[in-house]
Structure 1
Amino acid sequence: MNEATDVPGGVPLRHDVLTEHQAKVARAYLAKRAGERHHLVIYLSGAHAYGFPSPDSDLDLKSVHIARTADLVGLVPRPGGAEVMLVEDGVEIDYGSNEIGDVLRGVLKGNGNYLERLLGELVLEADVPRLLGLRPLVKAALSRRVVRHYGGFATSQLRAAEVAPTAKKVLYVLRTARTGLHLLRTGELVTDLNQLVTEYGPDIAELKARKQSGERAALSTDELGHWRGVLDRAIADMGGAVITSVLPEEPTGAAIAALEDWLKATRRELW
């Protein structure tokens, strides 16, 4: 395994969670993409971020990029987004990138996908000074709106698990529900299910073992029946947490203004 790279000022680059080969392939692939867009952050999402990667897990590389202002103000805006799935030197890669303007608007709506890219721990590459300046502003803009994302996403994942039950799908429902619950209760974003179940349960050791034996490890009808009650309660826990959440109902005017100022300053810098 690689070691985490310490960046002066405080955003460690987490190639240590990848094998040497995965890290080499990821670096080479992202270097190509960096020639196409200015990455603010490239975040390793999916099973790696959630704490239960399998040997055959893909690299879920989710980016936020900053388009040149000149590309946004013409008759035909070119925000430069991308969605690519491919196999590179034996490593399956799922790369996606969204422009910072859309991302910050999503942050204000409680979009957990974007929040995890900006605040998550498994950063592979970043414009470190800008990311460090933005993170506290994003944290200040957190609100109870996140329940719409995490509650809705967990519910849709549960439906998918009912159609074709696998250990992976059950773990994904739990991860989504527990991340949402913890965020509402503490204002802290945690995506690693191993950390979350230590505080909130349940025991996932058997599920993890099944999932890590293969991405498509199936569950029987009886096994799904056991977990169905657990998943229903996990989703319901979020609904209860909204009432007593430490987060405000919606982002404050000051938080919105701070993000607006940051975005305008960045647009001026990167014309």
Structure 2
Amino acid sequence: MTIHADPLSAAGLPDLRPVLVELTGRGLPLLLATVSGAHLYGFPSRDSDVDLRGVHLLPLADLIGLREGEETQTRMWDREGLELDLVTHDLLKFCRLMLRRNGYVLEQLLSPLVVHTSDVHGELAALAPGVITRGHAHHYRGFAATQWRLYEKNGELKPLLYTFRALLTGIHLMRGGGVEAHLPTLLGHVTAPAYLPELIEAKAVAEHGPATGMGIAHVARDVETLHAVLDEAQAASRLPDESSAQDALHDLVVRTRVAA
């Protein structure tokens, strides 16, 4: 991920740490919280909400007692006109998602837009390279296909940018470049259609604006080309076929739960 001197400010975000302090005080035990979504991808709109994603730790009683704790917790609220959406997974569930070749959780874990962190966050990030495999190409291929179908249905700019972002992230990852979700940065590493910077600028105006002036047949060819590039990158990738971090993640979950 590309790290800026002041990542939140560079992404056009205020200091969100006080928000997390409030939530922690209400009983949400956070291990990490980062910004995902359009702000992480490098094309937020003036009216974009803030997608906060993270990891919490369920107490032991919620795992072994009759009252089961929430593996996934969701909070949505408005703070001085800024819409925030927080989704966190229990540490065990998050680690299982990491092992399921889920690029989305890796992007959250390695996001440079850090709002709350801990030693466990650092350990998870250090283990991330050990879960990256050639199979992660399937995640980005599938996500791009889903967003493309949405674009075909509504013609909006947002799913079109999400399509290109997913394909470029997958290609970059398969080529050994690591997890990079920031589309403007990706344009400096992967050959892409020349009109993407203009689309990014247009997206800044409105979250749900149409992709005006784009011929769908021409764009479809560009998307097909990038799918082919992703296929080739996966076939030639030197990434392993299987994760090597399962034992280490298991140990981290056990140590963290026992310590708590």
Q: TM-score, normalised by structure 2?
A: 0.90
Q: Distance in 2 between matches of 1:48 and 1:177?
A: 18
Aligned-pair distance for 1:198? 1.4
Aligned-pair distance for 1:28? 3.5
Alignment correspondent of 2:147? 157
The change in CA–CA distance for 1:27 and 1:131 in structure 2 (over 3 A counts) is closer
Aligned-pair distance for 1:145? 2.2
The answer to whether residue 10 in structure 2 is matched with residue 17 in structure 1 is: yes
Q: Which structure carries more relative contact order (alpha carbon 8 Å, separation 6+)?
A: 2
Aligned-pair distance for 1:172? 0.8
Alignment correspondent of 1:217? 209
Say if 2:172 and 2:189, in contact at 8 Å, map to a contact too.
no
Say if 2:53 and 2:108, in contact at 8 Å, map to a contact too.
yes
Aligned-pair distance for 1:73? 1.8
Say if 1:17 and 1:48, in contact at 8 Å, map to a contact too.
no
Q: TM-score, normalised by structure 1?
A: 0.86
> Once superposed, what is the RMSD of the aligned Cα atoms?
2.0
Say if 1:64 and 1:117, in contact at 8 Å, map to a contact too.
no
Aligned-pair distance for 1:47? 1.1
Aligned-pair distance for 1:164? 0.8
Alignment correspondent of 1:8? none
Say if 2:143 and 2:166, in contact at 8 Å, map to a contact too.
yes
Aligned-pair distance for 1:68? 1.9
Q: Distance in 1 between matches of 2:258 and 2:126?
A: 21
Aligned-pair distance for 1:248? 0.7
Q: Distance in 2 between matches of 1:28 and 1:223?
A: 45
The answer to whether residue 211 in structure 2 is matched with residue 208 in structure 1 is: no
The correspondence of residues 1-271 of structure 1 with structure 2, limited to 5 A, is 14-17=7-10, 19=12, 23-24=14-15, 26-35=16-25, 36-79=27-70, 81-127=72-118, 129-186=119-176, 188-200=178-190, 201-203=192-194, 204-220=196-212, 222-252=214-244, 255-270=245-260
- Identity, % of aligned positions: 32
Range 229-238 or range 57-66, more displaced: 229-238
Q: Which runs of 5+ in 2 are unaligned?
A: none
Aligned-pair distance for 1:86? 3.2
Aligned-pair distance for 1:59? 0.7
Say if 1:138 and 1:259, in contact at 8 Å, map to a contact too.
no
Q: Distance in 1 between matches of 2:199 and 2:91?
A: 36
Say if 2:50 and 2:82, in contact at 8 Å, map to a contact too.
yes
Range 148-157 or range 85-94, more displaced: 85-94
Q: Distance in 2 between matches of 1:157 and 1:44?
A: 20
Amino acid at match of 1:104: C
Number of residues of Structure 1 aligned to a counterpart in Structure 2: 254
Q: Distance in 2 between matches of 1:242 and 1:205?
A: 26
Range 215-224 or range 158-167, more displaced: 215-224
Q: Distance in 2 between matches of 1:116 and 1:222?
A: 29
